[in-house]
Structure 1
C-alpha cells in the first residue's frame, strides 16, 4: 500500500518546501484540502506550484468542493494541471458542508449534489474533447490522461458512495479504519453491480500530527478552526492520531481493508513531521 501526505494549510509559504522534502522521501502523494471562506490557499493554484517544485510525487485535491466552481473553467484548470504534471494529478472531489462557502459564490447549498452530477457530465465531455455547446468548439488543453485525470469521490452517504461507480474512478475514505469497512465494501459492491471493469481505487485518509507537545497543540487547534464547533469536529479530534503506534496501526488497518493508498493528513506546519513520518513509513 502506498502512503501519502496531506499538506497543512496554516503556512502557505512553506508548502513548496514541504513538497520538495516529501518528494525526496517514501511518500506517494501530496493532498490539499479546500474551502472558500477560510484562509487556506486555493488548492489548484497551490498544487500547480507543488508540481513545478517536484519530480515524481503525485498531487491530489482532498477534496475540492466542486459545486462551488463553474464547470467548464474547472475542466480547463484540472486538464491543465494534469498536463503540466504529466499525469501526476488526481482530482478528489466532494460536496462540502459549509453554508458560508456556498453563499459566498452564489450557489444554492441544497442543490449541491445535483449540481455535482451535472458538473461531472460536463467535465468528462470537456476532457474528451467534445464541443461545449452549439456553435462552440472544444476546450483545451487535452489532459495527460486520456479521458481526464483520475477522479476520487469523498463522502459518507449512500448517494455519495454510489457516485463512485456511476462517474468516478475511486473513493476517498476520510474515516478511521475501524469505521471504513462498510464504506469500502459498499463502493466495491456498487462498482460490480454497475458492470464497471476492474475495481475502484480505494484511498484512506487519517488525520495526524507527530512531534513534541507544541506541534500536537498546533495541529489540534488547526482542526478545531477548520471544522468549527460541531459534533463532527469532536469526532475528528477523537480519531486524531498523535503517536507512531497509532499511525502504524491505522496504516495496517487500511492495508488489511484492501486500500491502495492511505493519506496521512498533517495539520501542523512543522516540516520536521515529514522526516518523522518518513522514518515511520520506511
Structure 2
C-alpha cells in the first residue's frame, strides 16, 4: 500500500517546504486539487515548481478539471511537465461540477461530460504523435511514455466510471470507505468488459488533520469553506480524520478493498503535519 499526501491550498509558497519534507519521507505522491473561481494555486504550474524542488516523489492532479482547458495547450503543458519531471507526473482528471468555474472558462456546464470524452481521445492521440488535425501538425514535446502519463479519472456516476476503461489507467476516488467497495467493483468490472489487460489502479482519498487543536480547527474551517457550495459542508467536516489511530484504520479499510494507494489530504497549513503523518505512513 502506497501513501500519498494531498497538499493544502491556502499558502502556495509554503508548499515547497511540504514537498521537500514529503520527498524525504515515505510518501509516494504529492496531490493538488483544481478550481478556477477559488483562491487556490493552478495545479500544473504549482506541481511544476514542486517537481523541480523534489527528487523522487510523484506529482498528481486531484483532479484537473479537463473541460475548463483548451485541449491543445493542455496536451503541451502536460507533456512538458511529464518530460521535465522524469516521468513523475500522474494526471488525475475530472469534469467538475461548479457552474462558476465553467462560466469563467467560457464553457458549457451541461456539455462537460461530452467535452471531456472528446478531450481524452484527442489528448491520447496528440501524446502518441498524431497531428492535431488535417491542416495542423503534431504538438510536442512528446511525453516520456508513449501515449502520455498515467491517467486516473475521478467521479461517482456511471458515465465517469466508464471513462476509466475507455481512456484511463485507473480510478481516483474521493468517496468514503463505506461507498467505495461498490465503486471499486464497478470500475474493475467495466475494465474487464472493455478487454483491458491487468487491473485498473485504484487510488483512494481521505481528509486528515493531525496535530494540535489549532491545526484541526483550521482544517475544519477550510473544508467547510471549500464545500460550502454543496449545501452540506457539515457532512464533509464530520468525515475529517484527526487521530493517528483513525487514519490508520481508514488506510487499512481501503487496503482491504484492494486500493493501491491512499492519499492523505490535508486542509490545515502546518507543514509539521508532514512529519507527523510520515510516522504513521512509514
- TM-score by length of structure 2 reads 0.98
The corresponding residue for 1:13 is 13
Quick check: 1:176–1:250 contact (8 Å CA) kept in 2? no
| Unaligned ranges ≥5, structure 2 | none
Quick check: 1:4–1:261 contact (8 Å CA) kept in 2? yes
For residues 171-219 of structure 1, give each alpha carbon's deviation from its aligned partner in whole angstroms, at most 9, with x where no partner exists: 0010222220000000000001111011100000001111111100100
**Following superposition of structure 1 onto structure 2, how do residues 43-192 of structure 1 map, counting pairs within 5 Å?**
43-192=43-192
The corresponding residue for 2:250 is 250
Shift of 1:232: 4.3
How many residue pairs end up in the alignment? 282
Secondary structure of 1:31's match? strand
**Following superposition of structure 1 onto structure 2, how do residues 258-269 of structure 1 map, counting pairs within 5 Å?**
258-269=258-269
For residues 156-181 of structure 1, give each alpha carbon's deviation from its aligned partner in whole angstroms, at most 9, with x where no partner exists: 01111111001111000102222200
Shift of 1:2: 0.2
For residues 84-109 of structure 1, give each alpha carbon's deviation from its aligned partner in whole angstroms, at most 9, with x where no partner exists: 11111000000111110000111000
CA RMSD between the two structures: 0.9
Quick check: 1:131–1:139 contact (8 Å CA) kept in 2? yes
For residues 195-254 of structure 1, give each alpha carbon's deviation from its aligned partner in whole angstroms, at most 9, with x where no partner exists: 101110000000111111110010011111112143442332222111111100111011
**Structure 1 stretches of 4+ moved >3 Å:** none
Q: d(CA) in 2 for partners of 1:232 and 1:186?
A: 26
Of residues 107-116 and 231-240 in structure 1, the stretch that sits farther from structure 2 once superposed is: 231-240
Secondary structure of 2:110's match? helix
Cα distance change on mapping 1:232 and 1:65 into 2, 3 Å: farther
Q: d(CA) in 2 for partners of 1:74 and 1:225?
A: 29
Shift of 1:273: 0.3
For residues 50-92 of structure 1, give each alpha carbon's deviation from its aligned partner in whole angstroms, at most 9, with x where no partner exists: 0000000000000001100001100111111110111110000
The corresponding residue for 1:31 is 31
Q: Within the alignment, does 1:210 sit opposite 2:182 as a pair?
A: no
For residues 135-156 of structure 1, give each alpha carbon's deviation from its aligned partner in whole angstroms, at most 9, with x where no partner exists: 2211000001121010000000
- TM-score by length of structure 1 reads 0.98
